[in-house]
Structure 1
Amino acid sequence: MATRRKKPAQEKLREQLSSRAEDAMEVLLSLMQDETQKPELRMKAAESVLDRVLGKGAAGEAKQDAPITLRFEGVLEEWSR
């Protein structure tokens, strides 16, 4: 009789979190685009999205290869000065 190997707790947790990754990204994108939120929160959400898409530190590395232009509008423009 074969015994079933129990999944370690960490593996189970990773599976559960992976299944919610798309939902988490949607929340970050929603916060980033929500003009009623504080600029600081919107910037943090944008940083999180970039970190996940480009990888942490990738913006600094890309600087050597190609210029990156950021444009702030409205409240963010005033906050960025």
Structure 2
Amino acid sequence: MQKMTGGRTQVEIEGHSVGQVIDQLDETFPGFRVRLCTADGQLKPDIAVAVDGEVVVDGLRAAVGPHSEVHFLPALSGG
């Protein structure tokens, strides 16, 4: 996802939920939502989200605090 942010490893975005954070990321970096969400607006099954170091189970509704760190974790595959 660094390619979408011009190589930046961290960005500051406002939002009270994971969904709002994704919306703001998509406004700032067009195409972000497509990378993380399905056509019907849900998180893709191969994407996990961690807020403040804890993987969330509420998906897009998960709460985000004003100083939270949000990480999007794509599934790794190998063999």
* Alignment TM-score, normalising by the size of structure 1: 0.28
The structure where helix makes up a greater share of residues is: 1
Looking at CA atoms only, which structure, 1 or 2, has the larger radius of gyration?
1
The structure where strand makes up a greater share of residues is: 2
